[in-house]
Chains A and B, each alone.
Chain A
């Protein structure tokens, strides 16, 4: 466990406090119990889906804190994933089918740039360019401070425009990675015999690639996508901090700094469940993509 306890951190590190009142606070939060007792108490509550209250002075139910932040992070991540998939798949496929073409070389360069660019740096550069110099996009936050006074469509545009920069930054690195996976996986598939025989049957190239090859090539991508959910939420920490977006990433970092155990634990539970759900979805979509998986299941019965 990280050194330092929530009571001390909350009370200001060097605050001349009576030891007695520190002790009373520890008791209030149940921190004076042995660790295994604390953990058991937590387990007992968690099976009832009771995440408890935050240790912070506001003492709000943890579930409320997560409820106001989770949708923001989920929205960001879902949009981000959709964009990544929508762009990475065609890019990867094209650079695989035209290996060593100018397009392939250009994307290779892009990928290396994408991998090598630290997202906090990119974020600040975009903020300076589009926010300060051009004045086209808002720099940070989710809404203008005077948002309530805008007409409906202005409000929507304002909200959307606040998302453009963070989503661009979050997408950039992921896009580079996924287009590489896609290219690699496609390259493996198009070398296989059945692709050859599909061509030999006289099928048009678009069907060979788009139907026969792509389905098989997609399988590894779906797996990686499913596994990348915890990484995406972890990655939102930087984006959410730089762009002042009140999402789960910010909440997580803040609760770690404050040693706000109920919030940390709840966050971990949520991220773990999201990962499980994402893997489940990935597993289910295998059968959508690859008919053989459906068939073999039926066959076994």
Chain B
């Protein structure tokens, strides 16, 4: 190994360490994480929106060919939402791109993600996994406003 090769290995090692540090810093200190793994239970097969507290919601989303249930979700500005997601049939996707909420809906699996909505507006949920001939129709929305209702 010549001196240039040693240098490049050291630089590679340094850069990788920097990447790993950033990744762990974001996870541990900033608490930015992947979806939470929740053991399967049948209770999540019933779509619903539950307001647990004045700024805390629990939303059970069921993805199916080719719609999300519930299709429109109303949330009060400044609330935190726990999304629980499952699929009644094939694999679907669940992407709220403004919020970096990016989940797969899988038969026999429960995916959980917590997200806070501080800005009022309409957020689209787009299915981003191919789920059959109606895939391109599969979209839902979250309306965030001061009332948390229509």
Do A and B assemble together? Answer: no
Which residues from chain B sit less than 8 Å from chain A, CB to CB? none
